[in-house]
Structure 1
Amino acid sequence: MTEHTDDTDDTIEGHERELSAVREEHDDADDDVSLSLPGLSVDRRDFMKAGAAVGAATASAGCLDALSGGGSADQETASGGAKNHKVAPGELDDYYAFLSGGHSGEIRVMGVPSMRELLRIPVFTPEPASGYGYDDRTSEMLEEEGGGYSWGDTHHPRVSQTDNDYDGRWAFVNDKANGRMARIDLEYFETDAIVDIPNQQGTHGACCLLPDTKYVFGVGEFRVPMQNDGRDLDDPEAYTSTIAAINPETMNVEWEVEVDGNMDNGDGGKDGRWFFTTGYNSEHATTESGMTKADRDWVKAFDVPAIEAAVENGDYEEINGVPVVDGTRESSLNQSDRPIVRYVPTPKSPHGVSVTPDGDYAIASGKLDPTCTVIDVEKLAEADDPADAIVGRPRVGMGPLHTAYDGRGHAYTTLFIDSQVAKWDIEAAVEAEAGSEDPIVEKIDVHYNPGHLIASESYTADPEGDYLISLNKLSKDRFLNVGPLKPENDQLIYIGDDEEGMQLVKDKPSYAEPHDASIVSADKIEPADVYDPSDYDAEFVAEGDESIERIDDSTVHVKTYVKRNEYAFPEIRVQEGDEVRITASNVEETSDITHGMAIPEYDVDLALAPQDTREVTFTADEPGVYWVYCSYFCSALHLEMRSRLIVEPSE
């Protein structure tokens, strides 16, 4: 076993020093009853000093009850105890987990509880194995609809819902890097639409307005001038950030709302009225020191019907083709009896926000404060002062970031500095005094520095409450060393037994740099085994329908089928300078028989699943012989599955 290295402690202590120093600058700030800030204590936990050598090397060290002082669980408990979490060969998982792929610009699909990676869905970047970005349809989606960026950074996968339950229709994910939103068709597990959101930089959140996914919201993080066309370059007070309401059917941006401060994460209420975002930089600064001066920031609560009424009444400015509603604090739309945005004061730089399954509370995590802020959604609608809607602030630990739910009244919050997940009782937090630790049920150590977490079906009104994934930023010595760029660590925790407590089940290394996930019951998604040709605009080319047609002096259209060992044409002959359009269909009807059509010299790379049709257009500008070959191993005669593209010289 690899021993725990000293730099693990150094790294985590560095995070603690940095964040606690920021917080201590404001310890003597004025507090009121509803927003008193408990003091911080940055004590090193015993397991991180003395027990880390064992804790980092074995999964059993992950089950430490921080409240009772209990030691690490034995191997039987760490592997699940009476609950069998294994998925044997040939058996299927209970859940799909959709995880962000970070800088790869993809969605990673895993099975739970096996934690086996099933698929990678390319979203914002081309991907050769699936031919994504190499055929006409997907390359046009990336280049024209998607803005033509060379990379993306996926953060928050969210699955569509009907009546506050997953409907298996779509998944949505944001591009933090370039201000985009994408839609994934869950029948075919492929990206089918991308929108480049106007007036927004750094789309950090991606959340649905429930109960029926009326909108998908893109939460803009970075503040920029409105319009960002060279005006107000040196006047940060004139910068704003926006949320964008996207129609899930058309993927058009219906309207946007500009607000004060930067925004971070978001989540929708359960009844169609409220959408919540966290935010930081209420100071409207442009540097770290400036962004952390004030002792309060805001959770922003967007009253969606009130915003829709403002748009209908023409109370907006059209910017880059989108109605932009003024939701800043001084806006006239926020001075009425029904403000369109309510600014709920919270301790400095809240990070995650999520709505409880019953829709009663929105809970924001403190990040630079050891508490979570519990907002009563019903009181928010009635209170003259939004601060009066704050009904609880339990002290959960150092560096709270994100919160998920089990449907039994418990919340689970990641503690970035403490390297733990805290389980706490929501109603007990409402009843307790602000800053109380009494609502905490237990804590479990994770390895290390967790960011997001997700429990099974946590975003619905009826979570399953059996599994939780903690997405940890550091793995350090949990896995074999692979050089300076270490894998991150996704850890599966069983939370289905409140008496036995949380149990660490599995570690899974993850390539940098994922963020968030959604876990959906497998029976709520019905993927297709083969493609339905009627779902695409391209013409399906059946056997007998193949043709090579010269459209005009410089255009050739090739219609071909592919099947095991065979392309329709042993050769395709064109002239130098011709624009060549290839329509290719896989006529196989048996699932799992994928064929490729690759012409590398012309950057052609089509992946053709059964009954699929793809089209590609290129200019044959170099005379010569170019082999067309199948890039998927499909049969014993796979290597003999060839055709020739012959480009004849123009003279």
Structure 2
Amino acid sequence: MILPNLGMERRDFMKAGAVAGALGGLAGCTGMLDDNSGGQTTNGAPNAHVPPGELDEYYAFLSGGHSGDIRVLGLPSMREIMKIPVFNHESARGYGFDDKSREMLEEAGGYTWGDTHHPRVSQTDNDYDGRWAFVNDKANGRMARIDLQYFETDAICNIPNQQGTHGACCVLPDTKYVIGVGEFRAPIPNDGRDVDDPSEYGSVFAAINPETMNVEWEVLVDGNMDNGDGGKEGKWFFTTGYNSEEGVTESEMTRSDRDMVKAFNIPAIEAAVEAGNYETINEVPVVDGRQDSSLNQGDDPIVKYIPTPKSPHGVSVTPDNKYAIASGKLDPTASVIDIEALDEVSDPEEAIVGRPRLGMGPLHTAYDGRGHAYTTLFIDSQVVKWDIEAAVEAEAMSEDPVVEKIDVHYNPGHLIASESYTSDPEGDWLISLNKLSKDRFLPVGPMHPENDQLIYIGDDENGMELVKDKPSYAEPHDASIVQADKIEPAKVYDPEDIDLEYTGAGDETIERVADDRVEVKMYSMRNEFGFPEITVKEGDTVEMQVTNIEQTSDILHSLVIPEHDINIKMAPQETTKVTFEADDPGVYWMYCGFFCSALHLEMRSRLIVQPED
């Protein structure tokens, strides 16, 4: 894009503006980068350098986008600690290769990829409790649960009647439900009916039980939905929406200059389900929450439709539960919705009590707990800090609530502040997840990395300070930041948590259980497997179960049989099982893929497949 009358590309324009801001910021950043003493930068930000051997203060769970995983960072170092496979296959963990994870992925649709967007951590009393993280699959209409004791995906829910699970968040204060916000309108059920009649399409809001990962109920609404966030008291849940025109082409979807934020009354929906006011579609109770539904005609509607400027994108609830703030995307303002007023006004639009002008392309908002909101400006390539109560008091479209802006590089989408989704944010660090990096890193070809930038927001007097860049693989979206002491990861597995028999030294067995099936149970430890060789027949189904009997943490083993596409990992005290077909006669070396001792190369065994004849 060429900016009029300037004769230069937008990239160069942004870069030039960024240099001016960066030069001032580098005065602080240079001191930080050169000083590993743990002091402060010249602008007052704590040193984000975490020396070797020391640990970070926070876990940050960032979406992996098209990689289908979750990235785990330490903050403030921005060191990437781990990747958690969710909707993808990952050989180092054996994820998608061992029987358990392979079956979980197959039962959740059998897709080969996913698109993770919104990691959310479970809460109790509006504070992170360290039990689970949840994340949506924007591509395939799924929700996954991650066990934060082991940092592993342990359940995936395939959401019926939903295409494109975009928003994901929890019903608080105690994670009663995990909400999947369906984006794409389609016939419901999508079985060939109404394919040529878009007026009959619909999108659904799905409530998932976090314990069972089953869909409890869904709500059918008008228009498309986008992102979502829940109030802190369990009554209201908010989603943004677009395409109130219910079109199927760009021109049809953008005719109107207004769209809707949808406020879901969770107790009223539950009462409708309890009373049987639903239709069962694909084995799920679906409640009619469209505007002309009889359930929306009384004094206690199940969904309130709040008119906003066109195509609002992000929505988030303030830590004190006073407001839900929806960002404009195609409008330079944010809409501040008074949550308490929703129960009092007859016209939901009257609950909008503020509309500050923030800048071009506002998308998502986070909070510091001191009364400030931070919103990404996609077009301006900035993060804007603004005063929430000042926005309520100011005239609509006023810029007075804006406190300051900081340049980011470039085109930010989501952002997250430390513990922003709780009722008591920490208010020190913020990550801006930017869609473009351009010249921030070494060139790697036409596909550039994206850029996660760490910003210090803890000093209201000196202002925001850009601290670090971190490249990321396409295309991350949202994140959650949790104090490290609220999560207690295990160092070794508890065998009681694994639904497989523990096999210690001396307990190993090889048993032919049928003419064409062999079951193996063995252990692994440094330098050896339980059997130096295993003999089966051509055509056998082989079930191989292996226990890592190490007691020392961080001593991983794996069982690798390349010719059979097997690579499963066993952490200390973990038992893993894989089943495969021994189709071809021959000798196949089985070995450990993790360097575990000086005799690592000798840690191997033979799989002998005898010819059928």
Give your verdict on TM over 0.5. Answer: yes
The offset of 1:277, in angstroms, is: 0.2
What's the counterpart of residue 77 of structure 2?
Answer: 114
Q: Does 1:585 align with 2:574?
A: no
Read off the aligned partner of 2:512 and give its amino acid letter. R
Q: Does 1:536 align with 2:495?
A: no
What's the counterpart of residue 236 of structure 2?
Answer: 274
Return the alpha-carbon distance in structure 1 between the equivalents of residues 81 and 602 of structure 2.
30
Q: Does 1:545 align with 2:500?
A: no
Read off the aligned partner of 2:111 and give its amino acid letter. Y
What's the counterpart of residue 568 of structure 2?
Answer: 606
SS at match of 2:267: helix
SS at match of 1:224: coil
| Aligned residues of 1:442 and 1:501 also touching (Cα < 8 A) | yes
What's the counterpart of residue 93 of structure 2?
Answer: 130
The offset of 1:202, in angstroms, is: 0.3
Mapping 1:239-318, distance limit 5 Å: 239-318=201-280
What does the per-residue CA deviation read over 1:250-308, in whole Å, with 9 as the maximum and x for residues that have no partner? 00000000100000000000000011000000000011111111011000000000000
Return the alpha-carbon distance in structure 2 between the equivalents of residues 474 and 76 of structure 1.
23
What's the counterpart of residue 98 of structure 1?
Answer: 61
Return the alpha-carbon distance in structure 2 between the equivalents of residues 59 and 612 of structure 1.
51
What's the counterpart of residue 322 of structure 1?
Answer: 284
The offset of 1:574, in angstroms, is: 0.6
Return the alpha-carbon distance in structure 1 between the equivalents of residues 325 and 165 of structure 2.
21
Q: 1:380 aligns with which of 342, 352, 355?
A: 342
The offset of 1:47, in angstroms, is: 11
Read off the aligned partner of 1:571 and give its amino acid letter. E
The offset of 1:74, in angstroms, is: 5.5
Return the alpha-carbon distance in structure 2 between the equivalents of residues 513 and 637 of structure 1.
40
Mapping 1:150-299, distance limit 5 Å: 150-299=112-261
Q: Where does the alignment leave 5 or more consecutive residues of structure 1 unmatched?
A: 1-9, 18-41, 64-71
Return the alpha-carbon distance in structure 1 between the equivalents of residues 48 and 590 of structure 2.
46
Read off the aligned partner of 2:433 and give its amino acid letter. L
What does the per-residue CA deviation read over 1:80-123, in whole Å, with 9 as the maximum and x for residues that have no partner? 43422211111100000000000110000000000000000000
Read off the aligned partner of 2:565 and give its amino acid letter. D
What's the counterpart of residue 66 of structure 1?
Answer: none
What's the counterpart of residue 301 of structure 2?
Answer: 339
| Aligned residues of 2:568 and 2:576 also touching (Cα < 8 A) | yes
The offset of 1:55, in angstroms, is: 3.2
Return the alpha-carbon distance in structure 2 between the equivalents of residues 396 and 604 of structure 1.
53
| Aligned residues of 1:375 and 1:390 also touching (Cα < 8 A) | yes
Return the alpha-carbon distance in structure 2 between the equivalents of residues 303 and 50 of structure 1.
46
| Aligned residues of 2:418 and 2:425 also touching (Cα < 8 A) | yes
| Aligned residues of 2:32 and 2:48 also touching (Cα < 8 A) | no
The offset of 1:52, in angstroms, is: 2.8
| Aligned residues of 1:62 and 1:445 also touching (Cα < 8 A) | no
Return the alpha-carbon distance in structure 2 between the equivalents of residues 637 and 126 of structure 1.
29
| Aligned residues of 1:406 and 1:464 also touching (Cα < 8 A) | yes
| Aligned residues of 2:18 and 2:408 also touching (Cα < 8 A) | no
Return the alpha-carbon distance in structure 2 between the equivalents of residues 461 and 481 of structure 1.
41
The offset of 1:550, in angstroms, is: 1.1
Read off the aligned partner of 2:66 and give its amino acid letter. H
| Aligned residues of 2:32 and 2:49 also touching (Cα < 8 A) | no
| Aligned residues of 1:60 and 1:78 also touching (Cα < 8 A) | no
Aligned length: 604
SS at match of 1:225: coil
| Aligned residues of 2:509 and 2:522 also touching (Cα < 8 A) | yes
Mapping 1:545-564, distance limit 5 Å: 545-564=507-526
Read off the aligned partner of 2:98 and give its amino acid letter. D
Read off the aligned partner of 1:505 and give its amino acid letter. V
What's the counterpart of residue 34 of structure 1?
Answer: none
Return the alpha-carbon distance in structure 2 between the equivalents of residues 619 and 243 of structure 1.
42
SS at match of 2:569: strand
Q: 1:364 aligns with which of 315, 326, 329?
A: 326
SS at match of 2:143: strand
What's the counterpart of residue 139 of structure 1?
Answer: 102
Return the alpha-carbon distance in structure 2 between the equivalents of residues 139 and 569 of structure 1.
25
SS at match of 2:420: coil
| Aligned residues of 1:133 and 1:142 also touching (Cα < 8 A) | yes
Q: 1:85 aligns with which of 48, 59, 62?
A: 48
The offset of 1:330, in angstroms, is: 0.4
SS at match of 2:202: strand
The offset of 1:483, in angstroms, is: 0.2
Say what the alpha-carbon RMSD is for the aligned residues.
1.9
Return the alpha-carbon distance in structure 2 between the equivalents of residues 59 and 524 of structure 1.
36
Change (3 A) 1:470 1:51: closer
What does the per-residue CA deviation read over 1:328-350, in whole Å, with 9 as the maximum and x for residues that have no partner? 00000000100000000000000
SS at match of 1:228: coil
Return the alpha-carbon distance in structure 1 between the equivalents of residues 350 and 134 of structure 2.
34
The offset of 1:78, in angstroms, is: 7.7
Read off the aligned partner of 1:543 and give its amino acid letter. A
The offset of 1:448, in angstroms, is: 0.3
What's the counterpart of residue 412 of structure 2?
Answer: 450
Return the alpha-carbon distance in structure 1 between the equivalents of residues 595 and 386 of structure 2.
51
Read off the aligned partner of 2:130 and give its amino acid letter. G
Read off the aligned partner of 2:85 and give its amino acid letter. P
Return the alpha-carbon distance in structure 1 between the equivalents of residues 511 and 21 of structure 2.
63
Return the alpha-carbon distance in structure 1 between the equivalents of residues 525 and 347 of structure 2.
68
SS at match of 2:601: helix
Scaled by the length of structure 1, what TM-score is found?
0.91
SS at match of 1:55: helix
What does the per-residue CA deviation read over 1:457-495, in whole Å, with 9 as the maximum and x for residues that have no partner? 000000000000000000000111000110000000000
The offset of 1:621, in angstroms, is: 1.3
Return the alpha-carbon distance in structure 2 between the equivalents of residues 131 and 46 of structure 1.
46
The offset of 1:608, in angstroms, is: 0.7
Q: Does 1:423 align with 2:388?
A: no
Return the alpha-carbon distance in structure 2 between the equivalents of residues 286 and 415 of structure 1.
27
What does the per-residue CA deviation read over 1:223-271, in whole Å, with 9 as the maximum and x for residues that have no partner? 0011111111111111110010000000000000010000000000000
Return the alpha-carbon distance in structure 1 between the equivalents of residues 6 and 232 of structure 2.
39
Read off the aligned partner of 2:325 and give its amino acid letter. I
The offset of 1:356, in angstroms, is: 0.1
Q: Does 1:594 align with 2:556?
A: yes
Read off the aligned partner of 2:56 and give its amino acid letter. D
Scaled by the length of structure 2, what TM-score is found?
0.96
Return the alpha-carbon distance in structure 1 between the equivalents of residues 235 and 325 of structure 2.
17
Which has the larger displacement, 469-478 or 42-51?
42-51
Change (3 A) 1:294 1:218: same
| Aligned residues of 1:59 and 1:505 also touching (Cα < 8 A) | no
Q: Does 1:515 align with 2:474?
A: no
Return the alpha-carbon distance in structure 1 between the equivalents of residues 340 and 485 of structure 2.
33
Identity of aligned residues (%): 73
SS at match of 2:92: helix
Change (3 A) 1:46 1:624: closer
What's the counterpart of residue 26 of structure 1?
Answer: none
| Aligned residues of 2:29 and 2:466 also touching (Cα < 8 A) | no
What's the counterpart of residue 36 of structure 2?
Answer: none
Q: Which has the higher contact order (CA 8 A, sep 6+)?
A: 1
Change (3 A) 1:204 1:61: farther
SS at match of 2:192: coil
The offset of 1:60, in angstroms, is: 2.9
